C-alpha cells in the first residue's frame, strides 16, 4: 500500500522549523534523551556506527505526525497552534517518533531521531501514514462488545434460509449441546412471514439456538432451545408477551415482546472463562480499531474479577479505566472501604463509579423538565424511581471516587448537576455526566463552574436525528447533542461511542463530529451544524480530553518525550482530507496501534517490518 504524501518534502519540514525541538519535547523530559537529541540535531549527519547512550526500542519514521503538543483551541474552535493559523493549512509537526521503556523518547524529524537508533532498535517506515496520539474511547461496554462479536450476526440476512445457513456455519465450530446465540433478524421487515423452528431444528438439531431480533422485540429458537426453556403447547406467556402457535396450538419457535424472556432466561449465565474470552475479543477488536485505552462504563463484580485477573497476569492488551457499577452494592462497599486506585500508570485503573440517573430519549425514558413533544403528559423516569442510589453514590464521592452518571433528559441533567453540586468538595474532582444529551440553556454554564465533564457521543447525533426533534420539539432540540454550546459555556468534553450501542469507528466519530452527518453523509448541510466541532477539537476529545476525564492528561493524549508510548497510525491524513471532502473521512483505516511501546495491532504491510 502506498500513502500519498500530499505535502512536498519542503513543506513537510517547514513546520519543524517553525516549532523548535524544545517545543516538541517539553518538560517533563527524559533528560538524557533530550540532551542527546538537542546535541545531535545540530549535527549534519549522525554517524551510523555510533551506539547512542539511550537507544530507542522502536522508532516510527517517514510519518505525518501530529503531536498535538500545542495549546488547546479556544472555545469557539480557533486553533491554539500558531503556525497552523498563519500558514492557513494543517501540516504535521514531526516525521518520526521514538519509544523506550514504555514512554515516548523523542519526537522530531527522521534525521534527528536516527541518532537514537541502536543495534537492537526496531525501525518501521510508515511510508507517509499519519500518526496521532493514541485514541481513548471514554465510554464503552467492553464485555457487551465481546459478547456481541461472538454472536451470529443476522443484521443483513435476507431471509430465513440465509439466516439458517449462517447458524449452520456456526454450529460446525460449536461443541454439541452448547447454546448458539445470534441477533439482528429484522422483526419489522419479517413480521408478515416470521421464521419457524422447523427449518432451524432440521438444520441444527444438536445445539439450542437463540436468535434475537434487530430491536429485541422478538426471539426465534429451535426445538432444543424451546425444550430447555420448557415451552410447550400449555405454556402461558407472561403479561405483555405472545407465544406464536400453529393450528394445533404448538409453539412455532417465535416469541414476542415480554415472552422473549422465556427463552432468554433458559440460557446459562456466562462463565468466568466466557467473560475473559469475550473481554479479550473486544479489546483485540478495539486495538485493531486504533484505541489504546477504554473507559469501561459500569463493571460488575464478576467483570472486575476478570479484569483484575488479566491485569495481574500482564495480559491486558489495552489500558482499561474502569467505572464500578453503582448497581452492585457489595462491589461498591468493598471499594469504598479500600478507596480508589492510586497507581495511575498500571494497565487497569479503578477510580470511578457508574450510575444511571434516567432512561433514554428514544424510548422516552429520559427525564424531561416538560412533557415530551410527541407524548403529552409524559416526562420520563429518573432518580430513585430509576433505582439511582444517591446515598451510596455520595459515600463513594466522599471516599474519593469520580462519579460518572448517565443523564439524558434536561431534568435528568439538572438533577445530576444538583446532586454533584451538593456532594462534591471541589470543582477539581472531575465528576462526569455520561451523555449530557439534552441540557437546558441555563444549566450549560454549570458544567464549567462545577468542573463537570460532559461525556458525549458523536454517533448519537448522527443516529438520533430522525426522531430527536419529534421527542423534543423545535426549541429543546437546540440544547441536544450541543457540543459547541457546551464548549462555549465552559464545559470540558470527551467523546466516545457508547459501544456496542453505536459503532466505535474513529472515522465515523470524526465525520459525525465535524459534519453532523450520518454514514450516508446526510443531511448534506449537517443536522444543527452549528453544534459541530472542528477536527482539531474532535481529535482532542478522543485523545487528550478523554485522558483528562480519567486524570491522565499528563501521561497520554499528546506526543512528547516522557509521555506514555501510546499512538494510533492511520492511512489517511484527516486534516488533509477534510479540506477536499469530509465524507472521505469515512474511508480511513487504522494501520497500527501502540500501547506503552507495545505494538498491539499492525496492518500486514507494517507487520512485515516488525
| 443 near Zn ion, judged by CB under 5 A | no
* The C-alpha cell that represents 8 in the structure block: 512536498
| Nearer to Zn ion (CB atom), residue 297 or residue 572 | 297
Sheet architecture: strand order including 432-435: 135-140, 291-299, 319-325, 348-356, 402-407, 432-435, 453-456, 492-495
| Nearer to Zn ion (CB atom), residue 287 or residue 297 | 297
Conformational region of residue 606, where left means phi above 0, alpha means psi within -120 to 50, and beta covers everything else: alpha
| Nearer to Zn ion (CB atom), residue 502 or residue 515 | 502
Q: Which stretch binds Zn ion (CB under 5 A): 104-112, 295-303, 376-384, 546-554?
A: 295-303
| Nearer to Zn ion (CB atom), residue 256 or residue 439 | 439
| 137 near Zn ion, judged by CB under 5 A | no
Peptide bond into 563 cis (omega under 30): no
| Dihedral, CA of residue 25, residue 28, residue 31 and residue 35, to nearest 10 | 20
| Nearer to Zn ion (CB atom), residue 33 or residue 456 | 456
| Nearer to Zn ion (CB atom), residue 350 or residue 455 | 455
CB of 501 to Zn ion, least distance (A): 7
CB of 205 to Zn ion, least distance (A): 38
Would you say how long the chain is, in residues?
A: 610
Q: Which residues, 6+ apart, have CB-to-CB distance to 47 below 8 Å?
A: none
DSSP state of 373: T
Give the whole-angstrom CA distance, residue 345 versus residue 121: 24
C-alpha distance from residue 289 to each of 137, 503, 506, 563 (Å): 11, 11, 8, 22
Using CB under 5 A, which of 29, 219, 287, 297 touches Zn ion? Answer: 297
C-alpha distance from residue 499 to each of 62, 138, 144, 226, 599 (Å): 33, 10, 8, 31, 23
| Dihedral, CA of residue 5, residue 137, residue 462 and residue 143, to nearest 10 | 130
| Nearer to Zn ion (CB atom), residue 289 or residue 498 | 498
Q: Which stretch binds Zn ion (CB under 5 A): 47-55, 229-237, 291-299, 367-375?
A: 291-299
Give the whole-angstrom CA distance, residue 131 versus residue 133: 7
Compute how many residues bind Zn ion; rule: CB under 5 A.
2
CB of 499 to Zn ion, least distance (A): 8
Q: Bridge-partner residues for 104, per DSSP?
A: 99
Q: Which stretch binds Zn ion (CB under 5 A): 165-173, 244-252, 474-482, 494-502?
A: 494-502
CB of 354 to Zn ion, least distance (A): 8
Q: Which stretch binds Zn ion (CB under 5 A): 247-255, 261-269, 296-304, 418-426?
A: 296-304
| Nearer to Zn ion (CB atom), residue 141 or residue 516 | 141
Q: Which stretch binds Zn ion (CB under 5 A): 395-403, 457-465, 490-498, 510-518?
A: 490-498
| Nearer to Zn ion (CB atom), residue 297 or residue 512 | 297
CB 565 within 8 A of CB 597: yes
CB of 496 to Zn ion, least distance (A): 9
| 498 near Zn ion, judged by CB under 5 A | yes
Q: Which stretch binds Zn ion (CB under 5 A): 165-173, 279-287, 289-297, 537-545?
A: 289-297
Helix (H, G, I), strand (E, B) or coil at 37: helix
Helix (H, G, I), strand (E, B) or coil at 502: coil
Task: Please give the residue ranges that form the binding site for Zn ion (CB under 5 A).
Answer: 297, 498
Amino acid at each position: 500500500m502506498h500513502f500519498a504524501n500530499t505535502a512536498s518534502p519542503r513543506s513537510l519540514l517547514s513546520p519543524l522549523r517553525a516549532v523548535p525541538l524544545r517545543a516538541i519535547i517539553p518538560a517533563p523530559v527524559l533528560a538524557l534523551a533530550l540532551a542527546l537529541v538537542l546535541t545531535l540535531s545540530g549535527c549534519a549527519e549522525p554517524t551510523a556506527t555510533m551506539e547512542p547512550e539511550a537507544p530507542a526500542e522502536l522508532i516510527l519514521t517517514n510519518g505525518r505526525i501530529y503531536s498535538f503538543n500545542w495549546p488547546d483551541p479556544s472555545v469557539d474552535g480557533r486553533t491554539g497552534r500558531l503556525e497552523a493559523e498563519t500558514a492557513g493549512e494543517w501540516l504535521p509537526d514531526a516525521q518520526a517518533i521514538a519509544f523506550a521503556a514504555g514512554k515516548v523518547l523523542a519526537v522530531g524529524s527522521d534525521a534527528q531521531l536516527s541518532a537514537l537508533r541502536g543495534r537492537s532498535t526496531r525501525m518501521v517506515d510508515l511510508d507517509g501514514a499519519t500518526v496521532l496520539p493514541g485514541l481513548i474511547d471514554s465510554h464503552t461496554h467492553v464485555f457487551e462488545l465481546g459478547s456481541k462479536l461472538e454472536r451470529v450476526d443476522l443484521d443483513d440476512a435476507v431471509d430465513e434460509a440465509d439466516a439458517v445457513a449462517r447458524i449452520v456455519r456456526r454450529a460446525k465450530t460449536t461443541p454439541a449441546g452448547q447454546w448458539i446465540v445470534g441477533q439482528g433478524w429484522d422483526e419489522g421487515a419479517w413480521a408478515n412471514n416470521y421464521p419457524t423452528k422447523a427449518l432451524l431444528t432440521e438444520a441444527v438439531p444438536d445445539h439450542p439456538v437463540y436468535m434475537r431480533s434487530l430491536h429485541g422485540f422478538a426471539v426465534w429458537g429451535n426445538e432444543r432451545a424451546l425444550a430447555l426453556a420448557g415451552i410447550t403447547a400449555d405454556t402461558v406467556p407472561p403479561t405483555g408477551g405472545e407465544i406464536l402457535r400453529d393450528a394445533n396450538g404448538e409453539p412455532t419457535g417465535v416469541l414476542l415482546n415480554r415472552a422473549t424472556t422465556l427463552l432468554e432466561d433458559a440460557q446459562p449465565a456466562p462463565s468466568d472463562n466466557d467473560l475473559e474470552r469475550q473481554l479479550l475479543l473486544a479489546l483485540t477488536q478495539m486495538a485493531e480499531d486504533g484505541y489504546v485505552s477504554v473507559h469501561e462504563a459500569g463493571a460488575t463484580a464478576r467483570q472486575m474479577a476478570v479484569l483484575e485477573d488479566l491485569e495481574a497476569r500482564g495480559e491486558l492488551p489495552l489500558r482499561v479505566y474502569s467505572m464500578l457499577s453503582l448497581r452492585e452494592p457489595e462491589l461498591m462497599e468493598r471499594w469504598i472501604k479500600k478507596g480508589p486506585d492510586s497507581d495511575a500508570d498500571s494497565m487497569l485503573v479503578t477510580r470511578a463509579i457508574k450510575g444511571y440517573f434516567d432512561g433514554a430519549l428514544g424510548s422516552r425514558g429520559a427525564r424531561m423538565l416538560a412533557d415530551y413533544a410527541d407524548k403529552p403528559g409524559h416526562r420520563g423516569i429518573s432518580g430513585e424511581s430509576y433505582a439511582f442510589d444517591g446515598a451510596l453514590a455520595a459515600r463513594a464521592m466522599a471516599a474519593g471516587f469520580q462519579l460518572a452518571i448517565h443523564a439524558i433528559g434536561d431534568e435528568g441533567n439538572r438533577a445530576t448537576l444538583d446532586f454533584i453540586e451538593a456532594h462534591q468538595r471541589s470543582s477539581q474532582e472531575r465528576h462526569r455526566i455520561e451523555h449530557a444529551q439534552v441540557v437546558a440553556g441555563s444549566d450549560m454554564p454549570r458544567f464549567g463552574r462545577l468542573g463537570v465533564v460532559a461525556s458525549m457521543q458523536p454517533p448519537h447525533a448522527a443516529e438520533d436525528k430522525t426522531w430527536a426533534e419529534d421527542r423534543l420539539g423545535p426549541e429543546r432540540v437546540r440544547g441536544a447533542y450541543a457540543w459547541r454550546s457546551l464548549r462555549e459555556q465552559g464545559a470540558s468534553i470527551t467523546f466516545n461511542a457508547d459501544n456496542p450501542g453505536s459503532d466505535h469507528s474513529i472515522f465515523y466519530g470524526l465525520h459525525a463530529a465535524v459534519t453532523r452527518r450520518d454514514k450516508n453523509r446526510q443531511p448534506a448541510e449537517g443536522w444543527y451544524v452549528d453544534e459541530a466541532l472542528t477536527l482539531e477539537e474532535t481529535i482532542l476529545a478522543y485523545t487528550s480530553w478523554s485522558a483528562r476525564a480519567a486524570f491522565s492528561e499528563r501521561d497520554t493524549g499528546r506526543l512528547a518525550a516522557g509521555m506514555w508510548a501510546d499512538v494510533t497510525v492511520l492511512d489517511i491524513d484527516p486534516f488533509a482530507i477534510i479540506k477536499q471532502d469530509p465524507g472521505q473521512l469515512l474511508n480511513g483505516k487504522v494501520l497500527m496501534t501502540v500501547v506503552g511501546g507495545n505494538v498491539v495491532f499492525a496492518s500486514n504491510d507494517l507487520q512485515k517490518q516488525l
